Structure 1
Amino acid sequence: MARSERLRLSEIRDISRLIGECRELGPNPIAWRRHYLEGLTKIIGAQVAVGGTWRMTSSDGPPELHDNLELGFASEEQHAIWRTFMNDGMVSANSFRQFASRPGRLITCTRKEVATDREWYRSPEYQNYMRLAGVDASLASFYRPQPWNIASAVTIHRPIGEAQFGHRERKLLEFAQSEIGRLIGVSLAGPDEPSEFQLPPRVQQTLHCLLEGDGERQVASRLGISPETVHQYVKVIYRHYSVSSRAELLAHWLRFHRGMHGDQ
């Protein structure tokens, strides 16, 4: 491997710092994923980043998009074209199918590793979507944590006319994905994980009071609302987290607390 293709210590430190910052945002799946994508574009050198979760419906069938976050497009029009590609054209694209069908827990590759320039620039994927969305160079990574049928995916892109991604950038993304992937569902909330940020503000306040040890009457006094209203909020919280008692709620909360702060 050429010296210029090796990961620099500063880059490894930058990725490690980014992962640590994501852990601080762990209970909020949208916040940590957005921060992760923004950090990757700066560290690796890209404009567009897309990250989300795919469900592998069968061993030989195409994956289905579960959730997605996109950032960095030059215009709303280009972003809309990308969204059309995600909804209508991605799973049938030859390069995507070749990439997603590769075996292994962690798959990372550049566009050039799945399609030649001749194939790529003549493909409907490029002509009908990528070209119109203003992007060309692509670098993608799939991480398949347990359960096996869920894949956490990231793709980053550079605008048309900029340099293609090389071996060093691929190794950087692979390192980042290996670090972030093992934390999803542990200290980083997954896409199906209930989050406090999905609750209305008053219910969030009630949740925080409960976690601090307050009973329902104490919560009512602190928030200046009736005990009956607090009781209804508690029911909403229990349904949201699929628990039936304060002890179960606390156990669920501590799982992320331990994941974020280690065994301290």
Structure 2
Amino acid sequence: MSAAAEVGLRRILAVVDLLLDAVDEETLVPALLPLLLGAVPGDSIIWAPRAGESDRPLTLPAGLLTDDVRAAFARESATDSLVRHTTLGPGTPMRRSTLQTRSEFHALAAYTDVYRLFGAEQQLAMSFPAGYAAGVPRKVCVAISRRDSDFSDDDVAAAALLRTRLSRALNRLAPPEPGPPLVTRRESAVLTLLARGLTNQQIAHRLAISPRTVDKHLEHAYAKLRVGSRVEAANAWLTREPAALRPAR
């Protein structure tokens, strides 16, 4: 292995070590950006979480994107093939030069109003799944820019290697996807008997509770399942708990 390859491998491993030790995204990303710029060398990096439009990008150097630049990007990025690749396409690591010539890039309004302002003459961009935000699937787009030489095949390979590990780490650190509220054990028992066609009186007799208590359990269960009737509750419970169809012993 050449000396340059050894240096590149050490830089990739530094990113991997940081990801393994990470405990939350908020503290991870500021430490991660300089290491990513070491593993895939560039002059600047943009880390742009996307869950709707609520997340703001982080950059190195800091303050790379002013409000005016961000507004111009929002207006003009739809015509940028590299942006489409990362936001709507597969998001695999891609060099801008693979998608368009230098003259095609310079002809973009986004080049004049965005990229030229921070010297992004060459770019390598990728995106990856990063958990959920408020129940919405979330991804992170990463763009590394250079003023001079283009990115090499080794740079693309390094980015591809890191992409999988970045996605895995971000999914691990993300809050769990929200699910339906949990019903209690007694509410579960009531719903199971309801799904088998028993009346409230029969449920009460089977569980040795009063019909009024059955009513209360169903009231709470309806709210948790977001239903308003016995039929809706039975259908929702059978969808969630197919075992409710098993005959009672």
TM-score of the pair, normalised by structure 1: 0.55
Residues 110/34 of structure 1: CA separation in 2 closer, same or farther (3 Å cut) = same
Deviations 1:123-177 (A, max 9, x none): 1111221112332211101112556932222111113xx1111211111111111
What is the 5 A alignment of 1:194-233? Answer: none
Q: Which of 17, 22, 27 is residue 20 of structure 1 equivalent to?
A: 17
TM-score of the pair, normalised by structure 2: 0.58
Task: Provide the rounded CA distance (Å) in 1 between the counterparts of 2:78 and 2:108.
Answer: 14
Residues 1:136 and 2:121 are matched in the alignment: yes
Residues 51/108 of structure 1: CA separation in 2 closer, same or farther (3 Å cut) = same
| Structure 1 range deviating more: 137-146 or 89-98 | 89-98
Where does structure 2 lack aligned partners over 5 or more consecutive residues? 177-249
Q: Describe the SS at the equivalent of 1:165.
A: coil
Q: Which of 64, 68, 71 is residue 60 of structure 2 equivalent to?
A: 71
Structure 1 position 86, deviation (Å) = 4.3
Q: Describe the SS at the equivalent of 1:185.
A: helix
Residues 112/68 of structure 1: CA separation in 2 closer, same or farther (3 Å cut) = same
Q: Which amino acid aligns with 1:66?
A: D
Task: Provide the rounded CA distance (Å) in 2 between the counterparts of 1:179 and 1:94.
Answer: 25
Match of 2:215 in 1: none
Residues 1:96 and 2:92 are matched in the alignment: no
Residues 128/26 of structure 1: CA separation in 2 closer, same or farther (3 Å cut) = same
Match of 1:151 in 2: 139
Match of 2:161 in 1: 175
Q: Which has the higher contact order (CA 8 A, sep 6+)?
A: 1
Q: Which amino acid aligns with 1:157?
A: S
Structure 1 position 110, deviation (Å) = 0.7
Q: Which of 89, 94, 101 is residue 109 of structure 1 equivalent to?
A: 94
Match of 1:119 in 2: 104
Q: Which of 39, 46, 62 is residue 43 of structure 1 equivalent to?
A: 39
Q: Percent identity?
A: 15
Structure 1 position 99, deviation (Å) = 4.1
Task: Provide the rounded CA distance (Å) in 2 between the counterparts of 1:175 and 1:71.
Answer: 21
Structure 1 position 82, deviation (Å) = 3.9
Task: Provide the rounded CA distance (Å) in 1 between the counterparts of 2:5 and 2:69.
Answer: 33
Q: How many residues align?
A: 171
Task: Provide the rounded CA distance (Å) in 1 between the counterparts of 2:98 and 2:38.
Answer: 23
Match of 1:199 in 2: none
Q: CA RMSD in A?
A: 2.9
Deviations 1:4-47 (A, max 9, x none): 9xx934423321222212443422x2221121111111232212
* Native 8 Å contact 2:127 2:142 kept in 1: yes
Q: Describe the SS at the equivalent of 2:169.
A: coil
* Native 8 Å contact 2:82 2:125 kept in 1: no
Task: Provide the rounded CA distance (Å) in 1 between the counterparts of 2:70 and 2:22.
Answer: 26
* Native 8 Å contact 1:109 1:170 kept in 2: yes
Residues 96/65 of structure 1: CA separation in 2 closer, same or farther (3 Å cut) = farther
